[in-house]
Amino acid sequence: MSLDITFLGTGSAYPSPARGASALVLRREGQCWLFDCGEGTQTQLMRSHLRAARITKIFITHLHGDHFFGLPGLLCTLSLQSNPDPSRPPVDIFGPLGLRSFLRRSLELSHSQLLFPCTVHELVPTRDQCPPEEFKDFSGLDGDEAPLQGPPGRVLHLDPGEDSYLLVEDEQLVVRAFRLFHRIPSFGFMLEEKPRPGRLNVQKLKDLG
């Protein structure tokens, strides 16, 4: 399994001419996974060797603007570069509770319609992830509203046994989110490669001494 990382932005709070807001891309087996999407991420992508159309998963650490204000614009740009294809797998977006409502309102108010499916999976924070006075319960924001362009996403709760959230699992790897303490609920993401059994014929080696 080949992996490489490209930092698109490492700035904090606001972008500068030489340093974009938070965003990095993990490239894996021809796919691009985007971690955070600060303002100007799509411009940084255009300056890189990466192709935005290859983004299949997006992970948002927390809902401070410098980590996700670039997301509606990026999705709209991807839509302009897309052809309607109902069989296309959705772009999976993972982030804290409230992200789905933000994206729905942003797209609705700007009269934007995505030509590709995307699914938002929300992580439900625990109250000890931030100072008590900063915690807000966004569990009632969506109500019975329809999902974005695509299948409905999951609502992910903390697995007490693992002390983490299981996001993605396939034959090669597992992706989990874990809680971070910040001014608002925040998450880190861990990608763990699964053990790969060796191909040695142990018995034949023993027979050969």
Residue 107 · residue 72 · CB < 8 Å: yes
In residues, how long is the chain?
209
> Which residue is catalytic, options 36, 66, 92, 142?
66
Average per-residue pLDDT for the chain:
91
Task: Output the 3-class SS for 34-78.
Answer: EECCCCCHHHHHHHCCCCHHHEEEEECCECCHHHHCCHHHHHHHH
pLDDT (tens digit per residue) in 106-124: 999 999 989 899 999 999 9
Partners of 165 in the β-ladder: 177
The verdict on pTM exceeding 0.85 is yes
**CATH at residue 52:** 3.60.15.10
Count: domains in the chain? 1
pLDDT (tens digit per residue) in 50-91: 999 999 999 999 999 999 999 999 999 999 887 777 678 899
Give the domain range for residue 37.
3-207
The label of the residue with tokens 């499916």 reads 117
Residue 122, both tokens: 């929300």
Check whether 3 has a pLDDT greater than 70.
Answer: yes
Give residue 144's pLDDT: 64
More confident residue, 147 or 56: 56
C-alpha to C-alpha distance for 116 and 77, rounded to whole angstroms: 11
Give residue 143's pLDDT: 67
| 66 has catalytic annotation | yes
Check whether 150 has a pLDDT greater than 80.
Answer: no
Count the neighbouring beta carbons within 10 Å of the beta carbon of residue 121.
21
